[in-house]
Amino acid sequence: MALLRQPLLLLSRSTPVKSLVSTMPVSAGIVRRYVPGETTAAVVEASAAEIADGIRVTLDFLGEDTTDLEQAEATVAAYVEVLRELSTRGLTRQAEVSVKLSAIGQALPDNGEKIALENARAICRAARNAGTTVTLDMEDHTTTDSTLAILRDLRKDFPETGAVLQAYLHRTEDDCRALAYEGSRVRLCKGAYNEPEDVAFQDDLEVDRSYVRCLKVLLAGQGYPMIATHDPRLVEIASSLASRHGREPGSYEFQMLYGIRPDEQRRLARAGETVRVYIPYGTEWYGYLMRRLAERPQNLSFFLRSLISRK
């Protein structure tokens, strides 16, 4: 199954396959498992249900690698709309948003970084007005420096903006040290892209070891670690490291993806931990779905059945 990971990640960037797969309705079993809907109304409903169950949420309006200025602006408008709706429903104490910079202009050929920064500022402003925060997702390694530079700029005006670091990159332990300062919200994940061996660990065990080293840095530091993993061993290690570092629940949080290990999400929340679920929504679910399949190729037959039956 591990052999399927790389081809699936390569397919996640294939336009012809995307065109074929995207003809599946969002209601198709495999898509609905990971994406609750396409609209603001659908994601706000899904958020309200999680929050009623004691789980916080971070919402991701799906889309990435945008090379169209209007589409980048439409993405900003979608975030502003969902933040307004969350605020109207009184949900912003428990709900924030996650943003991919490549969806708001970072990949544009001229001034991409500047456009992404301005667009991110607009979303941060809307989030602050709504009483909540933004976390910048991390994409493939070619964007890491640019994303961290934009984060530094954003944090001058919006210090509450969250960062994401990926344990599979060799550089990440150092990045954790640089970001483990007071008030700094940092999500640590394993990393979801197809990365070459000169920048990333290839072996799962090496990635896990790196994750633990990074966890130690973040939990010993002054920031607010957001521990994003479904891996039962890493959840256990994180819990014991948190108590070893004298961290009370609430001075860090666990994060998982919508539809993955929901029972574990509830178990942790009932045990008094802060748990946040990442909820993607919108029509551009193809790249996200392919990364989830690459992590869990066992779901491939379910995926193919959904594709053939379109249900």
Ligand X SMILES: Cc1cc2nc3c(=O)[nH]c(=O)nc-3n(C[C@H](O)[C@H](O)[C@H](O)COP(=O)(O)OP(=O)(O)OC[C@H]3O[C@@H](n4cnc5c(N)ncnc54)[C@H](O)[C@@H]3O)c2cc1C
The answer to the question of residue 85 lying near ligand X (CB under 6 A) is no
Closest CA to 163 of 130, 139, 142, 127: 139
Judged by beta carbon, residue 173 or residue 231, the one nearer ligand X is 231
Cα 219 to Cα 73, 172, 209, 225, distances in angstroms? 37, 15, 15, 7
Q: By C-beta, is 129 or 145 nearer to ligand X? A: 145
Confirm whether 187 is a catalytic residue.
yes
Determine which one of 121, 155, 187, 292 is catalytic: 187
Q: Which listed range, 21-29, 72-80, 249-257, 301-309, lies at the site for ligand X (CB under 6 A)?
A: 249-257
To the nearest whole angstrom, how small is the minimum distance from the Cβ of residue 203 to ligand X?
A: 12
Q: Is 190 in the site for ligand X (CB under 6 A)?
A: yes
CB of 24 to ligand X, least distance (A): 17
Reply yes or no on whether 137 is catalytic: yes
Residue 228 lies near ligand X (rule: CB under 6 A): yes
Question: Is residue 98 within a helix (H) or strand (E), and if so which, with residue range?
Answer: strand 95-99
The vertex-99 CA angle with 97 and 102, nearest 5°, equals 170
Which one among 230, 245, 247, 266 touches ligand X, defined by CB under 6 A? 230
From 83, 95, 107, 189, residue interacting with ligand X (rule: CB under 6 A): 189
292 makes contact with ligand X (CB under 6 A): yes
Residue 102 makes contact with ligand X by CB under 6 A: no
- CA dihedral 158→42→19→200, nearest 10 degrees, is 40
Q: Which stretch binds ligand X (CB under 6 A): 15-23, 36-44, 82-90, 289-297?
A: 289-297
CA dihedral sign, ordered 285, 75, 259, 180:
positive
Rounded CA-CA distance 91/85 in Å is 9
Asked if 143 is part of the footprint of ligand X (rule: CB under 6 A), the reply reads: no
Nearest to ligand X of 9, 91 (CB atom)? 9
Q: Does 79 bind ligand X (CB under 6 A)?
A: no
Task: Kindly report the number of other CB atoms within 10 A of residue 105's CB atom.
Answer: 26
Q: Which amino acid is at 1?
A: M
Encoded one letter per residue, x for contact with ligand X by CB under 6 A and - for no contact, window 154-173 reads ----------x-x-------
In angstroms, rounded to a whole number, what is the distance separating the alpha carbons of residues 126 and 193?
29
Tokens 């390694």 correspond to what residue? 141
In whole angstroms, give the CA distance from residue 112 to residue 115: 5
Residues known to be catalytic: 137, 187
